[in-house]
């Protein structure tokens, strides 16, 4: 049975509550398919929202970046953050503009970040981030040296207070609009990788299989 997290007052879906999902299994599925999140936080009353890559291990989300970045400097001091991930699956065209929508899957995580200081965990987290985005690339690349590791911060955010929201299916029109003479339906959307483009400087080898067959879809 999927583990269901009881929503808090802050994570309970209010608008279209039937789309709210509180299953860890579904939230993890969404997180594992995406790799870009938006991190929201406030400093001295000024809100910021920063896009960044992430990786997940069990009930922890890891993000990384320059040790000098505003986001990581603030987050490691324990300020509250809101992390969102959204996957867009389709444009939903109803007969009325008011009822147009999108098919999507999203996750919202609330919490506080912890700086990862322990060298082995930090390196493992960086590997996790790399493998989450492009499996196989870490072992095929030069590993970070001591100087690069010092210039990089890794933060851990527990996936404790969260909720997901999902919209699937066709348009939902008002009954009086069903006879309006226009097309209605769904335009599916997906992330699709093109053929790898070789770097022109010192091309030593053919593109590896993980580059040729790259895909994000887990469904």
DSSP the chain: -PPBPPP-TTTS--SSGGGEE-BHHHHHHHHHH--EEEEEEEETTEEEEEEEEEEEETTEEEEEEETT-HHHHHHTTT-EEEEEEEEEEEEEE-SSGGG-EEEEEEEEEEEE-EE--SHHHHHHHHHHHHHHHSTTTGGGSPPP-HHHHHTEEEEEEE--EEEEEEE-SS----GGGTTSSS--EEEE-----------SSS--SPPPHHHHT------
Query: pLDDT at position 166, please?
Result: 96
Q: Of all residues in the chain, what percent carry a pLDDT higher than 90?
A: 66
What mean pLDDT do residues 67-95 have? 85
What mean pLDDT do residues 183-207 have? 89
- Residue 21: exposure state from Cβ atoms within 10 A (0-12, 13-18, ≥19): buried
Q: Tokens representing 58?
A: 């069990």
Q: How confident is the model at residue 69 (pLDDT cuts 50, 70, 90)?
A: confident
Is the confidence at residue 154, as pLDDT, over 70? yes
Query: pLDDT at position 1, please?
Result: 41
What mean pLDDT do residues 162-177 have? 95
Domain positions in the chain are 17-173+187-212
pTM of the prediction?
0.89
Which class is 17-173+187-212 in CATH?
Answer: mainly beta
pLDDT tens digit string along 9-45? 888 888 888 888 899 999 999 999 999 999 998 888 8
What mean pLDDT do residues 53-80 have? 82
Query: pLDDT at position 219, please?
Result: 58
């Amino acid at each position: 049975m999927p583990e269901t997290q009881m929503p808090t007052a802050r994570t309970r879906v209010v608008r279209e509550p039937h789309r709210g999902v509180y299953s860890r299994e579904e939230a993890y599925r969404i997180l594992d398919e995406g790799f870009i999140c938006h991190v929201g936080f406030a400093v001295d009353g000024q809100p910021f929202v920063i896009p960044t890559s992430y990786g997940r291990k069990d009930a922890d989300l890891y993000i990384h970046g320059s040790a000098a970045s505003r986001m990581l400097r603030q987050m490691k001091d324990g300020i509250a953050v809101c992390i969102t991930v959204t996957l867009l699956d389709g444009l939903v065209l109803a007969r009325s503009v008011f009822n147009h929508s999108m098919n999507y899957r999203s996750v919202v995580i609330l919490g506080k970040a912890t700086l990862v200081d322990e060298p082995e965990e930090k390196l493992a987290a960086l590997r996790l981030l790399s493998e989450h985005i492009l499996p196989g690339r870490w072992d095929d690349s030069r590993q970070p040296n001591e100087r690069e590791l010092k210039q990089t911060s890794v933060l851990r955010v527990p996936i404790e207070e969260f909720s997901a929201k999902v919209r699937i299916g066709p348009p939902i029109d008002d009954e009086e609009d069903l006879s309006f003479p226009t097309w209605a339906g769904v335009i599916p959307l997906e992330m699709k990788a093109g053929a790898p483009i070789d770097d022109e400087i010192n091309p030593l080898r053919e593109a590896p299989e993980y580059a040729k067959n790259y895909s994000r879809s887990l469904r």
